[in-house]
Amino acid sequence: MTHLESGHESASNDVGLLGFSEQKLVGSNGTLESKHSVTISAKDFKLYAADICWLIGLIMALEQESMLKPEHEDNNNKAKNYNTHKSVFIYICVVCFGIGTWLDLNGVWIQIPLIVDKVPEGWEFSAYLGLMSNLANIGPLSVVLLRRSINKSTAYEVPANFSILTVGVVALLALSFLWDKSAYFLKQRRSIWMLVLCFWLAVVDCTSSVTFAPFMSRYQPLYLNGLFTGEGLSSLLPALLAIIQGVGGESKCVQQLVWNETTNQTVNITVKEPTSPRFTVRTYFLCITALMCLSFVSFIILVLTKTGKHKTPGSHTQKTNDHVSEKRQPNEQNGTTNQSLSNKNEDWKLDTQQPPHFWYSEHGLFLICIFWISFVLLGCIPSINTYSLYPYGIKTFHWTIILCQFTYPLLSLFVTVTPQMPPRGCYVLTAIGSLFSIYIFVTAVTSPCSPLVDKPIGKIIISTVWILVYLIFYYVRIVLGNHFRLLTGHRGLFWYGAFTQLGAFTGAILIYILVIATKVFREREVCVTYDCRF
């Protein structure tokens, strides 16, 4: 088969870049045959190559973009996750920092059922501790005077908190080994080490109320909630630890032979044999010390890091103080009170001259309620808890003190739902709480034959009454604190704090005199049979 000569006619049709041609060929038998072929011209080839290169370049660009974009997004996600994790870590540090507010003194009050039988003061120890707790208000007063002397600068906050936490850790560590040591003072054996160390622990707790919250003004408002959470845990953690510790059980009376040097004879006497808890008081205080160390380390981390802080320190101080005044409320039965409401006055130019209508209005009546509630709740009943609860047994004493510790954190959650109450409701609740507190005084004064002391129902009643008094009075205090914050502002909060401290101190002094000087209250001996008719 040969091709046609160049003079022969051929037909071709171009399609796109490719040339499509049909050629006529002469077969071996003399007939014409057609053959289809594809031809590419030089011009078409250049165009085709250019399109191919453009397409390859587009594919490579898309592949490169698809490879770089996920990497860029991954970096952003990693950075975002890192910042989130770092913020969570700082929030946890703030919570741990807040635990150091009332941790140590709450721990001491919870250990009262195990301490009173091993210290020379005996059942009077609660009265001593209540007095020491109120005398410790010299700490916040010193901070207020210091702040005024340095023109309200915030430079004192970090050194003050560092000193507070250091004293707290050292005092708790020393208390762990010296709580049961005694010495002669004024011709009587006293728990000198215990009382002195408890005084410094009370100073730490009271002073933290006026230094921890101002320090948090460096941070965004979100982190302030972590401080409040830590304050709640400062009551919960010692209570939970005490639940694990337990008290063993009721003391037993056993017969013991002793030598009487006067008669030179062996006599048989009955002695009390207390049961042991799961771990000792020393171990408990060491655990509290570890928690205080955690608070100390968390504070150092907060000082050294910048996450969560405002660019301009102190720019949100006033806003933070207002938030603190709303949320921080009196703490547990340590004879003192959370003074964030009363001691922020160093930031405000307080005019103590109130208009006459302030005192003759509901504000004045509310301040009387605050004085009375603080007198009873923070001054009186903590100092007589041994005489009111211990006659019913050490288990009743132990569990009632623990349950009272739970009231403040629970009310802090509840008050977010109902932060306000009509004035009549406050008066009614104050009256009801006062009636319950009268029953507490009756049980203390009538010791060792307290009402229903030998019956199970008596134990249930006394525990319920104590818990109700704490629930009612704490709730009224929080509601009235919100009232003064909203309606009277800083001045009202100043008087709220002043009447709180005055009531607590007056109650502690009165009970101390009654317990120590007049001996109105009496102990109940375990191994003595009492003829209690009621």
**Alpha helix segments (H runs only) across 255-307:** 281-304
Q: What is the DSSP letter of 224?
A: H
Do 212 and 344 touch, CB atoms closer than 8 A? no
Tally of CB atoms within 10 A around 221? 12
CA distance 39 to 61: 32
Quote the tokens at residue 303.
């000082």
pLDDT at 173 over 90: yes
The DSSP code sequence of 197-214 is HHHHHHHHHHHHTTTHHH
Predicted pLDDT at 351: 40
pLDDT at 365 over 70: yes
Residue 197's pLDDT band, with cuts at 50, 70 and 90, is very high
CA distance 485 to 504: 21
Rama region for 439: left / alpha / beta (φ>0; ψ in -120 to 50; rest): alpha
| Residues 208-237: tens digit of each pLDDT | 888 888 888 787 777 877 888 888 899 899
83 class by beta-carbon count within 10 Å (0-12 exposed, 13-18 middle, 19+ buried): exposed
Is omega for the bond preceding 448 within 30 degrees of 0, making it cis? yes
Quote the tokens at residue 437.
């507190």
Let me know if domain 88-518 sits in CATH 1.10.150: no
**Domain ranges in the chain with CATH number 1.20.1250:** 88-518
Give φ, ψ of 18 to 5 degrees: -100, 140
Tally of CB atoms within 10 A around 359? 12
The position carrying tokens 């009382």 is: 195
Residue 381: name the closest of 281, 462, 499, 498 by CA. 462
CA max distance for the chain: 160
| Residues 427-475: tens digit of each pLDDT | 999 999 999 999 999 999 998 999 999 899 999 999 999 999 999 999 8
How many angstroms separate the Cα of 338 from the Cα of each of 45, 102, 206, 477? Answer: 90, 9, 7, 11
Beta bridge partners of 258: 267
CA distance 453 to 524: 11
Do 103 and 409 touch, CB atoms closer than 8 A? no
The whole model's pTM is what?
Answer: 0.74
